[in-house]
Amino acid sequence: MPELFMEEALRLARLAAEAGEVPVGAVIVKDGEIIGRGFNSTETDKDPTCHAEIKAIRQAAAALGGWRLSGCSMYVTLEPCSMCAGAIVLARLDALYIGTPDPKSGACVSLSQITTDSRLNHRVELHVGILQEECSAVMKDFFRKLRSKNTRSEDNVK
């Protein structure tokens, strides 16, 4: 079942990539039903908080009519940053399913462990590596294309 929800998060990540955004997608599930979806749109919206996780949290909270997302799980293609990890804890999500770790800014397992920090008032059950190869490939492909595009642009300037 986790793979099914991660597939939807991957679909959203691909939409982000098509829009020129870092390809991260997230869904929030309650009782087997997706109640929140999001993908990165920081460039499009000119808003540093428009991460996939934040957008999915906002949509799920609206669907439930409150900010407490107890009984819900999030599926996200890339390990959340510190802002998103904090929001996940504050939203009281029960579980977090991560596609691939983010060694440069991940705040759940890589650089810090915000979602499982015993000093906080809530901890999130953590699962890492759901469809990891696919999630990693989406990121690598996006940045490979971006580097290639930037190299061609630089060649045209010379």
The residues annotated with a catalytic role in the active site are: 53
Q: Do 74 and 96 touch, CB atoms closer than 8 A?
A: yes
> Which one-letter amino acid corresponds to residue 55?
K
**CA dihedral defined by 92, 97, 101, 105, rounded to 10 degrees?**
-20
Residue partners of 43: CB distance under 8 A and separation at least 6: 19, 20, 21
